[in-house]
């Protein structure tokens, strides 16, 4: 079964099966939005907060996901699979880079629109 995953920070949406992690589903389609690091649950770069929907998750290291994080539905995208349609928000140290990238892309769009 495939579910729809929406990345709120950049309004990206992609289908993801329950056999794939959120990160695998995104990368397989060549999409961007969730920062990619080790892909193995060790670096914490892919931290996201699930803002709606249900999911299952593999074991995550307490060094990257605390109990407080878990209570706020913050997970590692490389260790989490969807069990319904999901909305997620990128959190953590890469969030600012993602926002900056989005701002640059938006400015580029404005430039192109102004020229054309």
CB of 37 to ligand FES, least distance (A): 4
- Pick 26 or 109: Cβ nearer ligand FES: 26
Strand order in the sheet with 12-17: 12-17, 2-7, 86-90, 47-52, 74-76
Nearer to ligand FES, 2 or 39 (CB): 39
Q: By C-beta, is 38 or 103 nearer to ligand FES?
A: 38
The residues, ordered by sequence, that sit 6+ positions from 96 with a Cβ below 8 Å of its Cβ are none
Q: Find the shortest distance in angstroms from Cβ 85 to ligand FES.
A: 22
Please name the residues in contact with 26: beta carbons below 8 A apart, sequence gap of 6 or more: 5, 7, 12, 14, 16, 32, 33, 34, 77
Residues binding ligand FES (CB under 6 A): 36-39, 41-46, 76, 78
Smallest gap from residue 7 Cβ to ligand FES (A): 15
């Amino acid at each position: 079964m495939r579910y729809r995953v929406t990345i709120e920070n950049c309004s990206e949406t992609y289908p993801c099966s329950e056999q794939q992690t959120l990160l695998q589903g995104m990368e397989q389609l060549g999409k961007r939005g969730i920062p990619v690091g080790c892909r193995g649950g060790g670096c914490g770069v892919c931290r996201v907060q699930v803002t709606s929907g249900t999911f299952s998750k593999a074991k995550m290291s307490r060094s990257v996901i605390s109990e407080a994080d878990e209570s706020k539905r913050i997970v590692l995208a490389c260790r989490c699979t969807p069990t319904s349609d999901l909305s997620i928000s990128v959190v953590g140290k890469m969030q600012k880079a993602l926002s900056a990238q989005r701002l640059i892309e938006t400015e580029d769009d404005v430039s192109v629109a102004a020229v054309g």
